[in-house]
Amino acid sequence: MSRQRTLAGRNYGPIYSYPMGIWFSLFFILPIAIIVTYSFMKKGLHGGVEWEPTINAYRQMFTSSYGKLFLRTIFVTFTATILSIVIALPCGYAMARSRHQTILLFLVIIPFWTNSLIRINAWIAILGNEGFINETLKRFGMITEGLPLLYTQRAVILVLVYMYLPYAILPIFTAMDKFDFSLLEAARDLGATKPQSMFKVLLPNVRSGIVTAIIFTFIPIFGAYTVPLLVGGKDSYMIGNVIVDQVTKIRNWPLASAFSMVITVVSTVGVLWMMGTSAREAARMKSAGVKQESGV
């Protein structure tokens, strides 16, 4: 018999994967199902929902103020994600080529040992009116009054990049670490300038790491609420803040659920699109190759 058998004559292998399925059902599918359901219900007076199907929540979302908020969230998320990747690429490269890899890896991970709220508050101490930067500039007589650094959209982007940079660095570093750097020498030898060797050889080969880094930073930044709440001004509200407000203050649970759905859908579509580009790229190259081959 070709089928593998255990002593008892049965294969128990699949049973070991059941906890995984239970875990996913309980903590992923079930909550999403609840949120989807809530978003299509009528809002309860003091929170919760009344079991009356309606699409009011979604209708409420299409107002100009929420539209502006949505666009702002998208803008902040894109800017912070792109900045994180742009900073993470040279960091990952330097780490992969460094002889002190362990120490550098350690330095990237250390911030995780401190509570995120404390780290955000540290930025308040740095950026505030009487904060480190303004006080230093005043001492050197470069300014007389504190610069408005804190409670701006730029502060939100800065702190978001700071918070999620490790999530961008780690996958990029992993991909770079697997990269054979002698390929850069080969590219240079064949006539490529330094930037050409980076863009034509290094980046295509660490592509999977970049895609992972984008997914790891884009999704949490898109749903961020503590950072805009603590270092942002009135004009820095993001979708995450609206959800918190709708749940805790205004008690419009269906609307909060509808906004949650927006985050989930946008993130999912984004991830699928990112993964799809890689697949499409591969397919495009293959078909182009077939054309060339038939032309020969």
Partner 1 sequence: MSLPGGQRNRLKGCDISIEGVSKFFGNFHALDAATIKIHKGEFFSLLGPSGCGKTTLLRIIAGFEMPDAGIVTFDGKNIIGIEANKRQSNTVFQNYALFPHLSVYENVAFPLRIRKVPGAEIDRKVMEYLHLVQLDAHVQKKPNQLSGGQKQRVAIARALINEPSVLLLDEPLSALDAKLRSNLLVELDAIHDQIGITFIYVTHDQSEALSVSDRIAVMNQGKVLQIGTPFEIYESPATEFVAKFIGETNLFDSRVVECIKHDEDEFMVTLDVPELGKQIKVTDYDETQNGQQVSFTVRPEKIRITLEEPHTNGKELNVFRGIVEEPVYSGFQSKFYVRLENGTVLKVFKQHQNYLEDGPEISWKDTVYVSWSANDGYIVEVINQ
d(CA 260, CA 243): 7
> Taking the complex as a whole, how short is the minimal distance between the CB of residue 82 and partner 1, in angstroms?
23
> How distant, in Å, are the alpha carbons of 96, 100, 251, 293 from that of 214?
19, 26, 33, 35
Between 63 and 98, whose beta carbon lies closer to partner 1?
A: 98
Least gap, CB of 287 to partner 1 (angstroms): 11
Would you say 24 or 181 has its CB closer to partner 1? 181
Residue 296, burial from CB neighbour count under 10 angstroms (0-12, 13-18, 19+): exposed
The amino acid at 280: R
Smallest separation, CB 208 to partner 1 (Å): 11
Cβ atoms of 192 and 201 closer than 8 Å: yes
Q: How far apart are CA 199 and CA 204, in angstroms?
A: 7
- What's phi and psi for 50, nearest 5 deg? -100, 140
**What is the C-alpha radius of gyration for the chain, rounded to an integer number of angstroms?**
25
**CB-wise, 64 or 182, nearer to partner 1?**
182
Residues that bind partner 1 (CB under 8 A): 180, 182-183, 185-193, 196, 200-201, 204-205, 207, 285, 289-290, 292-293, 295-296
Chain centre distance of CA 109: 17
Q: Least distance to partner 1 from the beta carbon of 194, Å?
A: 8
Q: Of 59 and 286, which CB lies nearer to partner 1 in the complex structure?
A: 286
- Closer residue to partner 1, CB minimum distance, 48 or 289: 289
At closest approach, how far in Å is the CB of 61 from partner 1? Answer: 42
Containing 58, the helix (H) or strand (E) segment is: helix 56-61
The one-character DSSP state at 140 is T
To partner 1, the closest distance from the beta carbon of 191 in angstroms equals: 5
Query: Rounded to the nearest whole angstrom, what is the least distance from the CB of residue 103 to partner 1 in the complex?
Result: 21
Among residues 6 and 294, whose Cβ is nearest to partner 1?
294
DSSP state of 242: H
CB of 114 to partner 1, least distance (A): 39
Which residues, 6+ apart, have CB-to-CB distance to 55 below 8 Å? 40
Which is closer to partner 1, CB of 50 or CB of 180? 180
> Is 64 or 292 the residue whose CB approaches partner 1 more closely?
292
- Maximum Cα–Cα distance across the chain: 87
- Judge whether 160 and 194 are in contact, CB under 8 Å: no
Distances (CA, A) of 126 to 159, 171, 237: 11, 29, 21
